[in-house]
Structure 1
Amino acid sequence: MKVIQYFHPVVWNILLGTIFTRIASFMTIPFLALYLHSELHAEPVTIGIIIGLAPLLATVGGFFGGYLTDRFGRKLIILVTIFCWTLVFLGFALSTSIVVFGFLSALNGLCRSFFEPATQALMVDYTTPEKRRRLFSVRYTAINIAAVIGPLVGVWLASLSSPQIPFIITGAMYALYGFALVFILKKYATQAVIKATKSITAVFQVVFTDRKLLLLLAGDILVSVGYSQFDSTLPQFVNATLDDGVKLYSVLIAVNAIAVLILQLPLSVISERISTIRTLILGIVFFAIGFVLFNISESWTMFIIAMILFTIGEIFAFPMMNAVIEEIAPEDRKATYLGASQLKNLGSFMGPVLGGWLLIQFQVGVFHIIAVITLCSIPFFYWTFAKKEA
C-alpha cells in the first residue's frame, strides 16, 4: 500500500502507460531498419536518413513542445499528441512509399518530442522535489520492462502474420492509452498548467545562454550519436555478420532490457558512492568497450557479452540525465528545459546517417570509430559539472 501511495495516481497512470505504449513501440521501432530493407528495399544510407528523421524532428519539436506545454498546459499537448501518434503507426502499416515512410518517421519523432516533456513535466507537477530523482529512475525501469517484452512480441507477431500487423496493433494500443488519459486527466485537475509568461523568443534567449545546459547538451549529442547505432547500424551489422542475425538482434534487445532490470539496482548503489561526473565517465567508457567488442564479435556469445557491457554503460549514464535537467531548470520552465534537452536528438539524427555511411565505407572498423566519437563526450560532461560546482 505504501508503494502505491508513494506517487500520485496521475504519476502511476503515466508510468504504467509508459510500459504499455513502449511495449507497443518496441514491437515496431527497433525493426524499422530491417523492415525498410526487406519490404521497401531501401539502401543503408536511405535507411539511416529515414530513421534519423525522427530524432531530427524531435530536436526541434522538443523545444517548442516543452514551451507550449508550459504555456498552454500539459493536458492539451498530451491528448492531441497521443491520438496523432496513433495515426502515425497506422500510416506505417499502410505505407508502400519510402518518401511517405520518411514523412511518417519525422512525425513519429515530432510526437515523441511533444509527448515526453509534457508527461514528464506533469509527473514533476505531482511529485515533491525529494522524490523526483527516484521518479526518473522508476520511469527508466518502466521503459526497460517494455523493452524486454516489446521486441519479442513484435518478432512473434511478424512470424505469425504480415509484417504490417505489429504497426496496426501498436496504433491500437496508443489509441487505448489515449482514452485512458482522457479519463485520468478529467478526473484529476492538472496543477500549474499555465506557467510560462515570456514569449518563445525570450525563452530561447534564456535557455541558450545557460552554459550548464549547453555543455550538457553537447555531451549528450555525442553520446546519442553512439547510442543511435543500436537501432540503425547494429541490426544491419549483425545481419551481415551472422546468418541468423535477425533472431540474434531481437535477443540482443531483450538482453539489453533484462540486464538493465537486473543490474540497475546494484549499479545504482555503486554510483551513489561516487561523484556524478565519475559515474558518467564510467558509463561512457563501458559504452566504448561495448562498441569495440561489437566490432570484433563473430558469435552469439561475443555479441551478448558486448551488449551486457554496453548496457552497463547505459545504466551508469542515462537515468540521471533528465534528473539533472530538471534540477537546473527554473520552476516556471520545467517542461521548456526538458523539451530543450531533446536537442540531444540531433546526435540521434546524425548517428544513423553516419553509421550507414561508415557501414559501407569502413565495415571492418565502423564501431571502433563510433567508440572514439562517444569518448569525445567526456570533456563536455566534465566542464558541465565543473560549472555546476563553481
Structure 2
Amino acid sequence: MLAALKRYPTTVNLLLLTTFVLTLSRAITLPYLVVYLSESFQLSISHIGLLIGGALIAASLLSLYGGHLVDNLRSYSVVISATLVFALAFVAAIASRSATLFFLCLVLINLALAVVDIASKAGFCALLPVEERAEVFAIKYTLSNLGYAIGPLLGVALLELDGHLPFLMSAAMGLAMCLAYHRLADRSLQPSERQQPGAGFMQVCLGLARDRRLVCFTLGGALSAVVFGQFTAYLSQYLVVTASASEAARLVGVLVTTNAVTVIALQYLIGRRIARQQLMPWLMAGMALFIVGLLGFSVAGSALAWCLAMVVFTLGEIIVIPAEYMFIDLIAPEHLRGVYYGAQNLSNLGAALGPMMVGLVLGHLVPVLVFYLMVLAVLLAGLFYYLGTRGPLQA
C-alpha cells in the first residue's frame, strides 16, 4: 500500500487524506452522540433513533445534488466548501439549543462528508488510469475503516476530559483539513469533462432514472446495505432479545473489533485484486460469504462461533464495497461521474431501514428469522446486481 501511495499524484494522496481525516472526525463523536442528545434535549431512545436515522437519510438524498455540483464545479471549490461546512456544523451543533437545529447540523455533517467522498472518487477516476482504480478504492475503504476503528476510542478519551471536546476536536480537524487542502491542492482539477454543460439537475435525474443498470445496481446496493450497513444495530437488537443486555453489549463489542481488524488486515490485499472484467463473479462471491456469515450467526452458540461467522461476513463486505465502486466507474459517463456516485450513496437508505425492519421482526416473530430475512435481502440484492450487469459494460 505504501508503494502505491508513493507513486500516486499528490492530489490523489491529498484526497485520500481528506476523506480519512473527515471520517475520523465524524467517528470521534459516535460514542457520545446518543448520550449527548439524551442529556441535552431530553429525547427518548426512539426519538434519538429517528433523529440520527433521519439525518442520514436526508443527507443521502441530498448527496445526489452534491454529486451534480461535483460534476459542474471545480473539485477544489467543492472540497474546500464541504470541509468548511463540516467544521462549522460541528461548532453549530454544540451551540444548538433545540433538537431541530441539532438535526440540521447533523444533516450538514453527513452531507459534507458524502460530498467529499463523491469528489474523491471522481478525482481518482480523473487522475488515475483504469487499471489502478481498484487499488485506490481498496486503500480508501481501508483508511475509512481505520478511521472508524480509532475515532470512537479517541472520542471516549476526550469525553473523559470535557463533554464538548469530541465536537470541538472534530471541528478543529475539519478546519485544519480545509486549510491544508487550500494550501496544497491542485486548484485546476476538474474531475468531469462536461459534455452537456447546459443540463440541469432535474434533467440529469431523469437521465439517471432511465439508466437501467444504475437503477438495478442502486436497488442491489440498498438491499445489501440492509445487511452490512448497520449490522451492529440489528445484531445488538437480536442479542438484547435473546440474551441479557450486558452480554449483548460485551459480544457486540467483540464483534465490532473482529470486523474492524479483518477489514484493516485484508481489505487492501483482496480489494486490489478485484478485476473489472470479472465483477459479477466477485459480487456473487461476496453475496455467498454474506449468506454463510448470516447462517453462522443464526446457529452461533458461543463467542468464538459468533466471531468466526463475523470473519466470513466481513469477507463479503470487503469484496462487495470495492466491487460496487468499480461498477459505477464502469457505467458512469465521464461528465456525470459525480452524480452517479451520488446515486450510489442512496444505498444508505437500506442501511437506515435495516434496524427498523429487524425491530418489527423481533417484535412479532421468532428472533432467528431476522437472519433469514437478511439472507432474503442478500438474494434479492444478487438478483438486482445480475440484472444490472447484463449486457456489455464499458471497457
| TM-score band w.r.t. shorter chain | 0.7 to 0.9
**C-alpha distance in structure 2 between counterparts of 1:294 and 1:83, whole Å:** 42
Contact 1:93/1:165 (CA < 8 Å) preserved in 2?
A: no
Question: Shift of the alpha carbon at 1:377?
Answer: 0.9
Number of the residue aligned with 1:189: 188
**Which of 352, 356, 360 is 1:353 aligned to?**
356
Residue in 1 that maps onto 2:317: 314
Do the aligned partners of 1:285 and 1:313 also contact (CA within 8 Å) in 2?
A: yes
Q: Within 5 A, what are the aligned runs for 1:1-390? A: 3-29=4-30, 32=33, 36=37, 42-43=43-44, 45-95=46-96, 97-158=98-159, 160-185=160-185, 188-191=187-190, 195=194, 196-197=196-197, 198-230=199-231, 232-238=233-239, 241=243, 242-243=245-246, 245-246=248-249, 248-265=251-268, 267-268=270-271, 275-294=278-297, 297=300, 300-362=303-365, 364-365=367-368, 366-388=370-392
Q: Counterpart of 1:259 in 2: which secondary structure?
A: helix
Q: Structure 1's 57 and 99: CA in aligned 2 closer, same or farther, altered over 3 A? A: same
Structure 2: stretches of 5+ with no match in the other structure:
none
Q: How many residues in Structure 1 have an aligned counterpart in Structure 2?
A: 388
AA paired with 2:385?
F
Which is worse superposed, 111-120 or 216-225?
111-120
The residue matched to 1:262 in structure 2 has which SS?
helix
1:53 Cα deviation from its structure 2 partner: 1.8
Normalised by the size of structure 2, how large is the TM-score? 0.85
Q: Secondary structure, in 3 states, of the residue corresponding to 1:387?
A: coil
The secondary structure found in structure 2 opposite 1:364 is coil
- Code of the residue aligned with 1:103 in structure 2: it is L
Query: Relative contact order: is structure 1 or structure 2 higher (C-alpha 8 Å, sep ≥ 6)?
Result: 1
Is this contact kept in 2: 1:235–1:245, CA < 8 A?
A: yes
Residue 359 and residue 103 in structure 1: after superposition, are their counterparts in 2 closer, same or farther (change >3 A)? Answer: farther
Q: Percent identity?
A: 26
> Cα RMSD (Å) of the superposition?
3.2
Q: Is the 8 A contact 1:50 1:101 kept in 2?
A: no
* CA deviation profile, 1:202-242 (whole Å, cap 9, x unmatched): 32232221111111111011111222333543445556644
Tell me, in whole angstroms, the C-alpha distance in 2 between the residues paired with 1:178 and 1:355.
39
Provide, for residues 144-191 of structure 1, a one-character-per-residue CA deviation record: whole Å limited to 9, x for no partner.
Answer: 222332233233333x23554323222221111111111123x55324
* 1:333-368 deviation per Cα after TM superposition (whole angstroms, max 9, x unaligned): 111211222222221332343344445445823344
Measured in 1, the distance between the counterparts of 2:247 and 2:6 equals: 46
1:307 & 1:41 partners in 2: Cα distance? 35
Deviations 1:235-281 (A, max 9, x none): 45556644165455444333212101222355458765994223212
Distance 1:14 1:323 in 2: 18
Contact between 1:326 and 1:334, CA under 8 Å: does it hold in 2?
yes
Q: Which amino acid aligns with 1:121?
A: A
Pick closer, same or farther for the CA change 1:342–1:293 going to 2, 3 Å.
Answer: same
- The one-letter amino acid of 2:68's match is Y
Shift of 1:331: 1.4
Note the C-alpha offset of 1:35: 5.7
